[in-house]
Amino acid sequence: MLMRFYRIFYKFILSRRYRVTISGLDLLKKPGGKLILPNHQSHVDPQIIAVECYQYSDVVPVVNERFFRIPVIRFFLRKWGAVAVSDFRGGNRDPHVLKNIFSKVIIALEEKKTVIIYPAGQLQETGLEKIQNKQSAYAIAKELPDDTAVLGLRVRGLWGSSFSWAWNGKRPKFLFLYLKGIFYFFANLIFLCPKRNVHLEFVDLTEQIKKEAQSDRRTFNLYLEKFYNYDGEQKPLFIRHFFFLPLLRKNK
């Protein structure tokens, strides 16, 4: 009950800034374990996806361990039973990371939960999703429980957010931007925040993913890249942060 309240409350907060539409919602509502494979445009999409998915089943996100060091974020991640991934950029190179992820994810899927894992394992640095030689999604797909549904998720509308590389060509600093987001929330009097349109498109890839998983990792990753980038390179969309300011110069 407590987590249900938190979900509703946090969805309200996100809805002040993001106008979310969803395609393929019927796939999300179906019972049973689900493996969701999204592209990763910004630091915001995991929050939106988790909030939307949680109302239909228990959600288990696979998350970089550095987010477990942020007090409020850590609370929700633990409540969700999130699976931590070693932060390679921070120098933590756990040699058993893939084995740890694999075992926890498979258990969650067998318990009919919804697992969210990003095949690329990092934010997009361009308007195209690149998975390259990442192996987590491939390893899990090869050993999926028989009744698990695999949903590909195309995220659109967040490329150009200050939480994305597109904002200034640099890696966005999550905690700093998260605190700025709280400031924007109140500076816009809560209800007057300029809104960004975000679209989530869920597609059933179950049979194709199982087929691709029987090939090599490169072929599997190329298939997912084609799925995410089917409409070409995304153009950044910049939205102003305050309702009382003119349009951003970035759009000129």
CATH number at residue 155: 3.40.1130
Phi, psi of 242, deg, nearest 5: -125, 135
Whether residue 237 is contained in a domain is answered as no
Whether residue 101 is contained in a domain is answered as yes
Whether residue 135 is contained in a domain is answered as yes
Confidence of residue 98 (pLDDT cuts 50, 70, 90): confident
pLDDT > 70 fraction of the chain, expressed in percent and rounded: 93
Whether residue 239 is contained in a domain is answered as no
**For the segment 13-54, what is each residue's pLDDT rounded down to a tens digit?**
999 999 999 999 999 999 999 999 999 999 999 999 999 999
Q: Which domain holds residue 29?
A: 2-232
Arithmetic mean of pLDDT over the chain: 91
The answer to whether the pTM exceeds 0.85 is yes
Whether residue 176 is contained in a domain is answered as yes
Whether residue 243 is contained in a domain is answered as no
Whether residue 43 is contained in a domain is answered as yes
Are residues 195 and 241 in contact, defined by beta-carbon separation less than 8 angstroms? no
DSSP code for 249: G
Whether residue 225 is contained in a domain is answered as yes
Q: How many domains does the chain have?
A: 1
Residue 78 reports pLDDT greater than 90:
no
Phi, psi of 196, deg, nearest 5: -105, 130
**pLDDT (0 to 100) of residue 87:** 61
